Structure 1
């Protein structure tokens, strides 16, 4: 099986690439460090905005957008042209702006990945230890001692990518820490609170505080007839300079308590919506925000490349991560359709030239733009100048003007 593609990571981008390779008849293997498709404890949701057409091209046979909306979307809302993301002043409750997000779709990650994995043979429990290249072969060495060979290895192994370490060295590949902290909670609340959240907005509620705190509440799963069993995702981010003490990232009650403390000065009903988070929330985690402004890498004569968060890890405030990952999969598929030569020496060299030229430029622009956006959203004097408030969730200024 030396002629195959080795995909490291079974997240959205790894599985989308696998599905496109399947369509193209290119042999591949997918290797995932988790024990199963749903073994990772964390779940979250993400929006698909400008990448819906590329997504449709990369989906498994028999799966379309309608199927995804029915089986992976967080709610039952039908995508329409008038979808908006409302932003409120947390201290007064005033509506600051309704950011247009026309025809947006929002998927629960675990359900989305489950659908993308259909028909793909995934080798689980494979934690990458080393990558080796020689002649026309690339070898993935896993911590269990197993070695897998192929013609091309694609690192889809996330922001902390081991493949990126291999290509650029640990120092150049290291994530850049940003001066902002983030807490995320998945929780069910009382029926009254659940209905109150959806009364403010049926899907998303965002708040910006003059003190520098950004808050977000969104539906994660509201398919149960009992609103008390709905699940909501709460996010709060704030400047590191405002942290009075280290927060125990392993302690759910501690994470929830800090979020409640930061929402004490919010106006109603926003205050009550955040104060309602239970201490025993389903999931909670805390971390520092970071990114990696995309740099060009040496693909070892067409044998190793990156995709998704491994290629362009970015902050999440403008929802661009998944959309860029989808674009990676689509761009690679198109490049392979035009330039893959299965019988030639270095069969992926020409395709990777096309693919990587796009990823390097688009990825770096996205990472830098989203860092700028995050900085501005936490500065009351500048938030109205942020990309989110000016071009919304569009890919770029040109993309927004084309709408």
Structure 2
């Protein structure tokens, strides 16, 4: 039986195996939580993932993410047969991952090549396909929205309480529940734990085109392309899904424009419809070169879109360090270091968190005193906060630079790229 809790309200407690003493509770079935669960499963450690969406396969927004320096960590967390399928998770499974690839940046108004960043291997992964791959053979409970966390008075376990009245108890709880993390708000309060809004907005489009238009748009780069614009905008264009290599009309493209957008303007347009959002970004696109100009022009006015105000949360700020209750509760991924996405670092840091926490939990499960568990988890958090916090600050600074044309042109990265003729992909 679980030890006496510090607070009441446990009802309909769920059982997860022979003993709760070795079970890790993971809140959130995003890429980070699933990668952690796979790492624990590989290490023979019991874990259960709790996801707020009601059922497997519930339709959510889908996008794609860059995996590069975090790839070896993911490879170590998942079974070899899963890593062998990583090519199938790419936005275009028919384009082999290169040992080196180049992300090109062009002048969004003229099409002039500005610079390029060559690195590799670089995987452009579709979020929904990655989650499907990482979900295999895991214990995932759906329809579980976290509402509270309580801790055994004797320091032995932790209990997650859900909005449906159920609860689950384990040795540890890990919040992997994204940028607007409930775990984070529960640990440090609703004010300090709230996401930080930034004065930038972005509208995202996914759509298909005719064969001729699809082939035209894709010729700008097989997978992805970025641009800075003199109008203080940033834009991205790439593939989202190309399952049928010989049927360009079936390809789904993914593209967006982001721009300076004050919090006052964001609040004033908070209730805008998809049609209004699309019209707003179509106006911005008129000053762009292709592929953006044509892609937005060819997008039907009733095409679904989604808008996001950019956000971050810096775990290194004063008051942002949480009590891990003797190493019984911690957080990973966007729950700890949600960052702007123009640098493409989020997934790599999140997977790194999962790898490092898996190693820490393995050490704990080998048998340590309670004080040692707290020390191990605190050391894990120290490294994650330092690494992730620095990236949050760097990414936000980078976002500000990319939306300020004068800073773009003075940036050492851009001037070096122009002067040295960085390779194009």
The two structures have a TM-score, normalised by structure 1, of 0.90
Distance in 2 (CA, whole Å) between partners of 1:223 and 1:346 is 51
- Partner of 1:84 in structure 2? 102
**CA RMSD of the aligned region, Å?**
2.3
Cα distance change, pair 387–120 in 1 and its aligned pair in 2 (3 A): farther
Give the CA deviation at 1:322: 0.6
- Partner of 1:253 in structure 2? 275
Report if aligned partners of 2:161, 2:167 keep a CA contact under 8 Å in 1.
yes
Distance in 2 (CA, whole Å) between partners of 1:236 and 1:251 is 17
1:151-173 CA deviation, whole Å, 9 max, x = no partner? 11000010111110111111111
Distance in 2 (CA, whole Å) between partners of 1:94 and 1:151 is 56
Report if aligned partners of 1:155, 1:310 keep a CA contact under 8 Å in 2.
yes
Give the CA deviation at 1:37: 3.5
- Partner of 1:311 in structure 2? 336
- Partner of 2:293 in structure 1? 271
Does residue 203 of structure 1 match 2:223?
yes
Give the CA deviation at 1:381: 0.9
Cα distance change, pair 350–316 in 1 and its aligned pair in 2 (3 A): same
Give the CA deviation at 1:73: 4.1
- Partner of 1:289 in structure 2? 310
- Partner of 1:398 in structure 2? none
Q: 1:364 aligns with which of 389, 395, 403?
A: 389
Report if aligned partners of 1:13, 1:329 keep a CA contact under 8 Å in 2.
yes
Does residue 2 of structure 1 match 2:20?
yes
Q: 2:151 aligns with which of 120, 130, 133?
A: 133
Distance in 2 (CA, whole Å) between partners of 1:391 and 1:371 is 22
Distance in 1 (CA, whole Å) between partners of 2:276 and 2:413 is 30
1:225-253 CA deviation, whole Å, 9 max, x = no partner? 32111101111110014969944666322
- Partner of 1:222 in structure 2? 242
1:265-289 CA deviation, whole Å, 9 max, x = no partner? 12345421332222233x4111211
Does residue 57 of structure 1 match 2:113?
no
Distance in 2 (CA, whole Å) between partners of 1:25 and 1:390 is 51
Give the CA deviation at 1:208: 1.3
Give the CA deviation at 1:387: 8.9
Cα distance change, pair 386–187 in 1 and its aligned pair in 2 (3 A): farther
Does residue 329 of structure 1 match 2:329?
no
Cα distance change, pair 133–338 in 1 and its aligned pair in 2 (3 A): closer
Cα distance change, pair 350–390 in 1 and its aligned pair in 2 (3 A): farther
Give the CA deviation at 1:223: 1.8
Report if aligned partners of 1:90, 1:208 keep a CA contact under 8 Å in 2.
yes
Give the CA deviation at 1:354: 3.0
Give the CA deviation at 1:388: 7.2
Does residue 117 of structure 1 match 2:142?
no
- Partner of 1:397 in structure 2? none
Q: 2:254 aligns with which of 233, 236, 247?
A: 233
Give the CA deviation at 1:384: 4.6
Give the CA deviation at 1:71: 4.0
- Partner of 2:16 in structure 1? none
Structure 1 stretches of 5 or more lacking a match? Answer: 393-403
Give the CA deviation at 1:27: 1.4
Using the TM superposition, name which of 304-313 and 80-89 deviates more: 80-89
1:134-163 CA deviation, whole Å, 9 max, x = no partner? 322211110100011111100001011111
Report if aligned partners of 1:219, 1:231 keep a CA contact under 8 Å in 2.
yes
1:194-218 CA deviation, whole Å, 9 max, x = no partner? 1112111111122211111111111
1:301-351 CA deviation, whole Å, 9 max, x = no partner? 111100010010000001111111100011112223344444744674243
Give the CA deviation at 1:389: 5.0
Using the TM superposition, name which of 90-99 and 212-221 deviates more: 90-99
Distance in 2 (CA, whole Å) between partners of 1:202 and 1:96 is 18
Aligned pair count? 390
- Partner of 2:39 in structure 1? 20
Find the residue that maps to 2:192 and give its secondary structure.
helix
Using the TM superposition, name which of 239-248 and 287-296 deviates more: 239-248
Report if aligned partners of 1:37, 1:114 keep a CA contact under 8 Å in 2.
no
Does residue 48 of structure 1 match 2:48?
no
Find the residue that maps to 2:81 and give its secondary structure.
coil
Cα distance change, pair 194–348 in 1 and its aligned pair in 2 (3 A): farther
Give the CA deviation at 1:24: 1.7
Distance in 2 (CA, whole Å) between partners of 1:269 and 1:310 is 34
Distance in 1 (CA, whole Å) between partners of 2:171 and 2:251 is 46
1:83-135 CA deviation, whole Å, 9 max, x = no partner? 11111112212111122232200111011000100000110000111111232
Report if aligned partners of 1:32, 1:123 keep a CA contact under 8 Å in 2.
yes
Cα distance change, pair 303–204 in 1 and its aligned pair in 2 (3 A): same
